């Protein structure tokens, strides 16, 4: 039985990862400070004898004996990471330093949950892993974008200097049950607005594109990456099926039978115009590609938010 740390283990993706690792007969230690994570996300795991939760901010030193570390701790939506940008940057830099030192000391393998935001507002489309990105280093999104880019730098430096056993995944837009209601992301925003029959807010003219990966597919990819040999990444994990934000809004209205009208607001600063992963490398190295069709994943997500709003 492996002892596996999941930082951000009470978050949206972290909680799904903890659940999956427990099903695979591991001892899972979730570390979370509940900045954006929630106790409700892991409440169903608390009775499992192979699960423990440590309330801690990873910018503070912690030592826990382990075999593997999944570093998923960091606010990932603009509303939350811009709420305290200095702390967001510290989470990426001091947090990964603490986890890399822990991995080195325990001779553990560490996986960094990086992001498609390392590509910024890309000039290459779709984005491949060898693209260096087009990122504003001093904008309102920089605390997250540059923090994640710096974390990748530290991962590679520990690999080269200390031979630390590392893995890097770059996560593209992911959705599913347990998304934060107030995270400002397009999936949760549109579903909640549609279920409440209030106006759906599209930023810009809605022609910007996104691709959406269901959480179960993403977790599959992360675990495959952790268990892979002779491949450290970075590797894109996401769904290459691309659509405009306006098309997506209309789909949500249709799937929820909503009376919501679509309204348009100004596009936020540095909001990417296009975002689509090239997953050739993931197919080749991990034998991974997303299985969920968009409608399939959205149905589960809509059900989750419908129940959430009814029980609120």
Tokens 């990417």 correspond to: 272
**Residue partners of 85: CB distance under 8 A and separation at least 6:** 140, 143
β-partners of residue 166 are 110
User: In terms of Cα–Cα distance, which of 151, 139, 149 is closest to 59?
Assistant: 151
**Token pair of 212 as six digits:** 């959406």
DSSP line for 35-94: SS--HHHHGGGTT-TTEEEEE--TTS------SEEEE--S--SHHHHTTSHHHHHHHHHH
Which H/E stretch holds residue 28?
A: strand 27-32
- Cβ-based neighbour number of residue 119 at 10 Å: 28
**Token pair of 218 as six digits:** 């993403």
Does residue 167 contact residue 271 with C-beta atoms inside 8 Å?
Answer: no
User: In terms of Cα–Cα distance, which of 131, 118, 214, 135 is closest to 170?
Assistant: 118
Whether the link from the prior residue into 309 is cis, omega within 30° of 0, is no
**Token pair of 16 as six digits:** 């799904």
Q: In the annotation, is 61 catalytic?
A: no
DSSP symbol at 266:
P
* Pairing between β-strand 174-175 and β-strand 242-244 as defined by DSSP bridges: unpaired
Residue of 144, 158, 292, 308 marked active site = 144
Does residue 202 contact residue 249 with C-beta atoms inside 8 Å?
Answer: yes
Active site residues: 144
């Amino acid at each position: 039985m492996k002892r596996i740390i999941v930082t951000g283990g009470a978050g949206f993706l972290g909680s799904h990862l903890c659940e999956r690792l427990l099903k695979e007969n591991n001892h899972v230690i979730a570390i979370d400070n509940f900045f954006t994570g929630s106790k409700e996300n892991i409440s169903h795991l608390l009775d499992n004898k192979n699960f423990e939760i440590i309330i801690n901010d990873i910018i503070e030193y912690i030592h826990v004996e382990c075999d593997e570390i999944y570093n998923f701790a960091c606010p990932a939506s603009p509303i939350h990471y811009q709420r305290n940008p200095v702390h967001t940057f510290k989470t990426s830099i001091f947090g990964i330093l603490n986890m890399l030192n822990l991995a080195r000391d325990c001779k553990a393998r560490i996986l960094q949950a990086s992001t498609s935001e390392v590509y910024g507002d890309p000039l290459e489309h779709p984005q491949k892993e060898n693209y260096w990105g087009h990122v504003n280093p001093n904008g309102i999104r920089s605390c997250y974008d540059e923090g994640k880019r710096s974390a990748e730098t530290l991962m590679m430096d520990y690999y080269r200097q200390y031979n630390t056993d590392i893995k890097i995944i770059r996560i593209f837009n992911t959705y599913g049950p347990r998304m934060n209601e107030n995270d400002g992301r397009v999936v949760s925003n549109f579903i909640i607005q549609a279920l409440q029959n209030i106006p759906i807010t599209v930023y810009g003219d809605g022609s910007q594109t996104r691709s959406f990966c269901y959480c179960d597919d993403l977790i599959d990819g992360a675990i495959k990456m952790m268990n892979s040999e002779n491949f450290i990444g970075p590797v894109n994990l996401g769904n290459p099926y691309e659509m405009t934000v306006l098309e997506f809004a209309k789909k949500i209205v249709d799937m929820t039978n909503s009376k919501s009208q679509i309204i348009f607001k100004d596009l936020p600063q540095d909001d990417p115009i296009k975002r689509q992963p090239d997953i050739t490398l993931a197919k080749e190295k991990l034998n991974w590609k997303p299985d969920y069709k968009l409608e399939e994943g959205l149905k589960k997500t809509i059900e989750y938010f419908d129940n959430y709003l009814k029980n609120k």
